Chains A and B, each alone.
Chain A
Amino acid sequence: MQIDLTRIKAYGDTMDDGAMQLSFTLPVPPGEEAREAARQMALQMGLDTPSVVEMADLGVGFSFFVVYGKCRHYVDYTAIKIPKRQLHVMTFKEINSAIKEHLGRKVTVVAACTGSDAHTVGIDAIVNMKGYAGEYGLERYPEIDAYNLGSQVPNAELLTKAVACHADAVLVSQVVTQRNIHLENLTELVELAEAEGIRDKMIFICGGPRISHELAIELGFDAGFGSGTLPNHVASFIVNELIRRQKAGPE
């Protein structure tokens, strides 16, 4: 089958038929007028021959719809370029032996939820011994000394603690929302480290449900981990980066 990647359309039953399904709610009670409103909504979204196949009463004057239609639009798949990077992920055993072999000392990691954030689920999943989804947490790694400082830790305190225990990496978890306060809490840590002259001496990592590579760079961190991250992903990054820095020599 020949697919024109410069003009891809949604696939339903046959190539390029554009078929897709939508579901949404309108703030009107169910009825013929509501059904027509849903159809017009789909038309305006670029769906030809929209058909409302489901209309359900949500109560309090709202209705839920499922609509099928054929989308007119197409996308040039060949024009899409996304910067990405593959992380070299190692297993628990591989990480511990890499530390022994290449670094010859234990790796120290300090972790916390900073500022006003009290969502420790993420940091606990990565750091606590029991780990997450069958992967041991950093505390369980014989070659890693992990300190979980818990939640609502001020940035200055986290940094002081990290320096006091000669941390190789600082791990911060934050539920970033659209509100700038969460972002500014993360940027403050890196700025404080820069002001104190230790930005290059530790690896700074942030994590949270909405954190991506791009956001981590924007925030000034060395890495960012989003949802689905397992403890060995973070440990792999830290160890690979420490080995890389060791090879590159003192900065």
Chain B
Amino acid sequence: MSVLVPEKYFDLICSRATTAIAIVGMTKNVGKTVTLNYLIRHCAQAGRVTGLVSAGYDGERFDRLTLKDKPRIYAPAGSFVATAKACLDAAGAVMEPLYRSRISTPLGEVWIAVVKEAGLVELAGPGSVSGLKILIEWMSAQGAHPVLIDGAINRQASASPLVAGEVILASGAAVAATLDDVIRKTLYRCILLETPALEDKRMERKAREAICSAGAAVLHPSGSDWKVELLSAPIPLMTGAGLKVRCEQEMSAVVLGGALVDKLLIDLLALPSPPLLVLRDATRFFVSAELFYRYLNSGGVIRVLDPIKLCAVTLNPTDPLGKGYPPQEFLKLVGEALAPRPVFDLILKNKFS
């Protein structure tokens, strides 16, 4: 198998027609900022204009909880930066504010600025996907390609296909106490993120229509078509009890407009045969690995309407609060377990392959 150097690989990713690349993390201290900085540097060298936005807060001097130093974020001249007003004022980089978004954060409204003189920035982003979407679209329209979405802790909403065309998952030693658990949890997250799209186009259309007007729906077979039974509730989560009853009749699929939680999977597992479950996208999973696998092993199938493109996994073999691993070995073992996904250690500048 040929060895891809990360530069070449990320060249490929960044040159695709993608608007935005989201970096999501398994938890804190898995190297999200290192991955972001790598992409910023790489794009600058390749002459690309990047847009920088965070789904959380990044670039601060030290970690607010562990008080340990953190990697800073250096924004190159010409790039666009979306951040709270207070961070704009305190930035080391010289920036010209261009757009006031009216998206509020605890540090003031988010502005978009263009970097006039390169320097350090702190990224304080919006708390919602709708906010991210506005900022990404604005930067993209101004010529940012790609927009890099920095992640926050273990939050994955920014991986939503509504905002990100490609997703990079950052994982590492900090995920669990043992190597086996690091691998197990990372693999599970990959599998969730990569949940395949619903292939049946006719059913897809029905499903989309259904969750436009209701929180959830059950598709009952009706000749060669389906009879759609809508379940309305203030939020999809509240359809749970009603959904269970509807599922006891003959049906082809359950379509869910919101979060998939453990309780619903337990209900569905109690049916004679677990049905096809259709979610909006893979950011809607809130289920334990054990139940998820049990559902699949019992013949259940889960599909999404809008798939996520997981393009790479980056690894941090160190854990500031626990034990670390020898980098080469960590990359090899995790890389083998996640194969054929491209897995990188960007400090080692290496890819397992």
Q: Which residues of A contact B (CB under 8 A)?
A: 81-85, 156, 159-160, 163-164, 176-178, 180, 183-184, 187-188, 190-192, 194-200, 204, 210, 212-224, 241, 244, 248, 251
A sample of 10 more A-B contacts (CB under 8 A), given A183-B27, A188-B286, is A85-B108, A156-B261, A192-B286, A199-B127, A210-B64, A217-B56, A217-B127, A219-B56, A220-B127, A223-B106
Assembled-state Cα–Cα distance A222/B157 (Å): 16
**Size of B's binding interface in residues, CB under 8 A:** 52
Beta-carbon contacts under 8 Å, B244-263 to A:
257-259, 261, 263
Tell which of B89-97, B136-144, B193-201 binds the partner.
B89-97
Residue pair A222, B106 in contact (C-beta under 8 Å)? yes
The verdict on A215 contacting B130 (CB below 8 Å), with A194-B157, A195-B283, A196-B235 known, is no
Assembled-state Cα–Cα distance A78/B28 (Å): 31
- A187 touches which of B105, B153, B237 (Cβ 8 Å): B153
Residue pair B258, A196 in contact (C-beta under 8 Å)? yes
Instruction: Note all chain A residues with C-beta closer than 8 A to B107.
Output: 83-85, 213-214, 217
Residue pair A180, B28 in contact (C-beta under 8 Å)? yes
Assembled-state Cα–Cα distance A220/B154 (Å): 11
Residue pair B237, A196 in contact (C-beta under 8 Å)? yes
19 A-B residue pairs with CB within 8 Å? A83-B90, A84-B107, A156-B263, A159-B237, A178-B66, A178-B321, A180-B154, A187-B155, A191-B155, A194-B283, A197-B258, A198-B235, A199-B157, A212-B64, A218-B64, A219-B56, A220-B128, A220-B155, A244-B104
The verdict on A200 contacting B286 (CB below 8 Å), with A160-B237, A184-B154 known, is no
- B235 touches which of A177, A197, A216, A219 (Cβ 8 Å): A197
Residue pair B130, A214 in contact (C-beta under 8 Å)? no
B55 in contact (CB, < 8 A): yes
- A164 touches which of B28, B105, B106, B234 (Cβ 8 Å): B234
Residue pair A191, B156 in contact (C-beta under 8 Å)? yes
Instruction: Give the shortest distance, in Å, between A62 (CB) and chain B (any CB).
Output: 25
Residue pair A214, B65 in contact (C-beta under 8 Å)? no
Assembled-state Cα–Cα distance A191/B282 (Å): 12
Instruction: Note all chain B residues with C-beta closer than 8 A to A192.
Output: 237, 259, 286
Residue pair B27, A180 in contact (C-beta under 8 Å)? yes
The verdict on A183 contacting B28 (CB below 8 Å), with A178-B65, A199-B127 known, is yes
- Nearest opposing residue in chain A for B156, CB measure: A191
Instruction: Give the shortest distance, in Å, between A191 (CB) and chain B (any CB).
Output: 5
